[in-house]
Structure 1
Amino acid sequence: TGEHPRIGAADVVPFVPVSGVTMEDCVQLAHDLGQRVGEELHIPDYLYEEAATQPERRNLADIRKGEYESLPEKLKDPHWKPDYGPAEFNPRTGATVIGAREFLIAYNINLNTRDRKLAQEIALNLRESGRAKRDETGQIVRNPDGTALKVPGRLKAVKGVGWYIDEYGIAQVSYNLTNYKVTPLYRVFEESQKEAGKLGLRVTGSELVGLIPLEAIKQAGCYFLEKQGKTAGVPEEEIIHIAVKSLGLDDLGPFDPEQKIIEYRFQERFGPLAKMRLWEFSNELSMDSPTPGGGSAAALSGALAAALVSMVANLTYGNKKYEQHWDAVKPLAVKAQELKDRLLKAVDRDTAAFDAVMDAYRRPKKTEEDQKARENAIQQATKGATGVPLEVMELAFETLQLAKTAAEKGNVNSISDAGVAALMALSAVEGAYLNVKINLGAIEDNSFKTGAETKAGEIRKKAMELKHEIWNLVEKNR
């Protein structure tokens, strides 16, 4: 089937920021690995893309030029001295390219034609590298060095080619999005639709090859929601559903987010408690085990408050009667969804934190060393069990602040919902406060105790005052 370009046995090692890590972190990792590969394994290596030390080394294809076979001569050229490792050819290993780059999305557009040439025409017009420029006679215009002069395409950080897929009986435009933050998925789709229309074609859907970051598919879902005159302040599942249907990602077969979204493949979005049905969670809460308990219940109360705020915002946005408040309630819905999800995660985190305290108490205490280790574990676990409800207090207070905006500027027919949101948010603050207080009694670190107690007290006081302000608004407008 052909040979993949390469300059060594371990040809390329990219670090890609997906979640919880920055590009700067990945650049540092590339340098750290490059140094170790060079010093410990004595393999010459080059840094590319965001980790490149020279502009001409950003592009992987430029570093690979000539491939493994030309590497002995390349290493003799001072211009191509490795970033790390010896400038010596090792026939067993070759060289390695290490770098940091954005996630590459392999994305195909489906067309209602079998004609590969028409698909290629779309690719040439859109891909960043574009096409060769031609003169009036149809001849390729060339640069002084003999290379073809290019007319660039419209989409930056996009590579593309047209081909025919016998399995599906259609032509596709096959794209690689090398940086979806520069050119997002939805723009590739819509520009392809425009080009297809010029050729009398129709885009029937699209296909993702491999995995996609959550952020990239949410970008698309939010974009299409806003085109429909709606806010992006809806559950994550709905955003993804809208993206799948708008892009036609299920055109050639079912699209399973659990299998296609990279974050979903490696981590559960919510814990076992948050995924329970209402009656299951209520039953679990009623049993004679200490967890889940009041801390988890407080977090759930906060999540319900945030959900109500989002509902009020969504019932207001798009309603002509409240057009003057659209700019205020649009971000309100989005922020409320974020708080809702964080508070739902806290339902399980609170239980896990308490379980960690119980595990610490079960540690052996036969020797003096055991006793010290056990006491240290208890103290650390209890601080963790204090931190979760303290965070719940902060999130619930943020929700209260949103509830006030909802009461002030939201649809008056939903004013009671804003009021219930305020009550539920205050309940979350008060419930979490009780959990902070009971845990502080077992902590010996006075500095930690004072800081946590002061912070919790301030949040509680402000929350109670804010609840009264919201209640007055509700009473005034109902």
Structure 2
Amino acid sequence: MLRPALACCKLYISESRNAPALRAIERAAAVLRPAAVLVNAFADDAYNRVGYTLVSRLSGGLPPPLHRAAFGVVAAALEAVDLGSHAGAHPRLGVVDHVVFHPLAGARLDDVAALARAVATEIGDKLQVPTYLYGAAHGEGRTLASIRRQLGYFTPTSPGNQWQGASDALSLPVAPDAGPGTPSRSKGVVVVGATAWVDNYNVPLHTSDVEAAKRIARAVSERGGGLRSVQAMGLAHGEGVTEVACNLLDPGRVGAEQVLEKVRQLATAQGLAVGEGYFTDFSQEKIIEMYMQSAEAEASQH
């Protein structure tokens, strides 16, 4: 079967412990199968966060299947999860913390940028949640990290380097691109973007010292003078464990092996043991393969 132009949507939901809520979200993700296929769900209980990966062809009606599937997941999450009762070791801006579209298999970044803008507008207008754009979906190419910094994303809101509850802010420091200018305490805000492929790669550290993990993360990240195209955070991750959680913005240039080696060098200098690094999603090729297998299976049934 020839490869069609594909788009991938990753949605990061601030919940992993509420089983009924997750079932409702995953039912919404499956509604348009096989036109849009859920190829991965990665849950992390310490972070209280799940990442979902949806894939579809770029064609196939207006709005495209991936638009409808992504919006359905966002709507289901906002209905099922209350940000006010959320607590976890990973930062978040809302129930739906982050939505990003990537082109796959010959698709163009411009195509998924248009898709991201359309989904963001619908989230803002229909679900009445302040929604921000970044990357190719934003007119000036604003980065995810910059909008997060402006919105206070990286500052824990409760002791123990945890993020708990919702912001008490009655207004937002930056006007959203869609939706109301006032955040909801139960929903928060949503950030929607379009970029080339990004690998999410985490490296565990066998220490409860979050400040040590933060120092290593700063030294690994490009912003701290470390590896080009790498963003990193040091986060608590359960009893006696922290993590250097990384976004590899150009994994063809700087990949997981280089990140792991850099973390090991820095951790060894501080007398810390390093665990085995891991990805939170499949590779681009594996995701394409999984989608094509699903399409072939559906075609064979007809």
Q: 1 or 2, which has the higher helix percentage?
A: 1
Q: TM-score, normalised by structure 1?
A: 0.33
Higher gyration radius (CA): 1
